[in-house]
Amino acid sequence: MSYSRQPVDTDGICGLATPVGSGAVGVIRVSGPGCLRGMLPLLRRPGGGACGVGDFEPRKLVRADICDGLSGGILDQLLVVCFPAPHSFTGEEVVELHGHGSPVVLERILRQLVAAAGLRLARPGEFSKRAFLNGKMDLIQAEAVMRLIGAGSLRAAREATRQLGGGLSRRLGGIRARLVEVLAEVEACLDFADEEIETADGDELCRRLDPVIAELESLLAGSAFGRRLREGFELVLVGRPNVGKSSLFNRLLGRDKAIVTPLAGTTRDLNEGCFEVAGVVVTVVDTAGFWESADPVEREGMRRARGRMAGADGLWVVAEAQEGLVAGDWEILAEVESSRTAVVFNKADLVPGGSGRPLLPGDWRYGEVYAVSSLDGAGFAELESLLRRWLGVMDPGEGEGETILVARQQEALEEARDAVLRSRDLLREDKPWELVAIPLRDSLGVLGFMVGDTGVEAILDRIFSTFCVGK
């Protein structure tokens, strides 16, 4: 596949490839034509003497010391590994300096590389941007690198690895190939409109666009779950005092984080913790109990709870199974606006011989109802199933779904699908070939932008600026 991409800067660049902070090892990455030769004045053999290019066998760790360019004093003992172009991450000559993870020492080495080796400090994401511009990866794979680095769960890492391996890019390549075939026939009808030759069959072209639309819809089906992998999910617990919000909170976390006592109003402020559901990080928020109180601290706690209710992804109104819904519960339900709401009756273990789920009025409109016991865990499997549905979870290996990890990708897929739908509608309406061709070209342009075949410099800069410096 050919890429119409902007020229690559030829400056040599350097940057820290490991996290900032103290550690056993710190790695500095260098990329650019002739970067190894430019660093040779700073490198010494362990026993003394200058290093030459021949001392560094490609893709093998070689011991060397790095020195101060002015005083000649040793800054650190290194393991150096070289990757000749084009067989490197960026497609350029790349050198990695593996030293001790002292922030002070690593900073001194970077200063020497800039001052004495003619390099400059890399901008955020510049190594990955060069890899993209040199055709080592497409834009989807480049974004997957950043998603993999920032993965908050094993599932998020696995989905990013799939994209890094080219899974989504290959599927898009197949879609684009089929669209090109259809567009070629439409263009042929335009080119030979004045000649007496057989033109394309509109109905047949519609049938060929149907699987393309289905494939785009299949990809979009994974976008909701991908958003949750990116952003997580906030679940807020609200209810009257002493109905078991904090014990429910602790059970979800699997540890005793919130203080639980028989006294009403034990929780006065927001209490947060995280747990995972299908690889999505769920932030659960325990809140102060809602009741009539003159205590300014409790009133502030309730004010904060209402603030979190307004922005929650999901809301569980917690009530007590023995009592059923009482006046205070109905007052809380009257404030609920979230479309993802459930009522959880806690302390179901205290209801003898029953499910713990009280009878509800026929006009019930406050979401699903569950009965659980935070004491023995009864009913929590059903709560997890509810969360999985709210999260739009796609199980690993389920169908052929691809998880869309980046909002830009989702927007592009929606735009491409809508363009193909317009073309199909125009074909069904027997509109002129000129009109049919326009949205087909648009869809190909959008899909090309997704993988980075076409793009605008400002857009690429914005994407890569979110990367860390060493990538």
Please list the residues that pair with 314 across neighbouring strands: 235
Helices 139-149 + 167-191 axis angle, to 10? 160
pLDDT range class, residue 340, cuts 50, 70, 90: confident
pLDDT at 4: 45
Write phi, then psi, for 388 (nearest 5 degrees).
Answer: -60, -40
pLDDT at 338: 66
Pairwise CA distance, residues 222 & 224, whole Å: 6
pLDDT above 60 (res 278): yes
pLDDT, tens digit, 9 for 90 and up, residues 362-419: 778 888 899 999 988 889 999 999 999 888 775 544 434 567 778 888 999 999 999 9
Most confident of 2-6, 36-40, 140-144, 291-295: 36-40
Strands 74-83 and 62-67: antiparallel
pLDDT at 461: 66
- Fold matches, 13-135 and 233-391: no
pLDDT, tens digit, 9 for 90 and up, residues 354-368: 666 777 777 788 888
Burial of 324 per CB tally in 10 Å (0-12, 13-18, 19+) = middle
Task: Please give the average per-residue pLDDT across 96-122, as a whole number.
Answer: 94
pLDDT above 60 (res 251): yes
Cα dihedral sign for 449, 450, 451, 457?
Answer: positive
Q: Which residue type sits at 20?
A: V
pLDDT at 160: 87
Which of the pair, 400 or 250, is modelled with greater confidence? Answer: 250
Write phi, then psi, for 131 (nearest 5 degrees).
Answer: -60, -40
Q: Which tokens go with 275? A: 């747990």
pTM of the full structure: 0.69
Q: Which CATH number fits domain 233-391: 1.20.1260.60, 3.30.70.920, 3.75.10.10, 3.40.50.300?
A: 3.40.50.300
Task: Please give the average per-residue pLDDT across 26-35, as a whole number.
Answer: 96
Please list the residues that pair with 120 across neighbouring strands: 13
> What residues does each domain of the chain span?
13-135, 154-222+401-451, 233-391
pLDDT above 80 (res 99): yes
User: Would you state the CATH architecture of domain 13-135?
Assistant: 2-Layer Sandwich (3.30)
What percentage of residues in the chain have a pLDDT greater than 90? 44
pLDDT at 300: 82
pLDDT at 395: 54
CATH number of 154-222+401-451: 1.20.120.430
Could you write out the three-class secondary structure of 5-71? CCCCCCCCEEEECCCCCCEEEEEEEEECCCHHHHHHHHEECCCCCECCHHHCCCCCCEEEEEECCCC
Task: Please give the average per-residue pLDDT across 249-261, as a whole number.
Answer: 82
pLDDT, tens digit, 9 for 90 and up, residues 164-206: 888 889 999 999 999 999 998 888 887 765 555 556 788 899 9
pLDDT at 406: 82
**135 closest CA partner among 464, 457, 446, 451:** 451
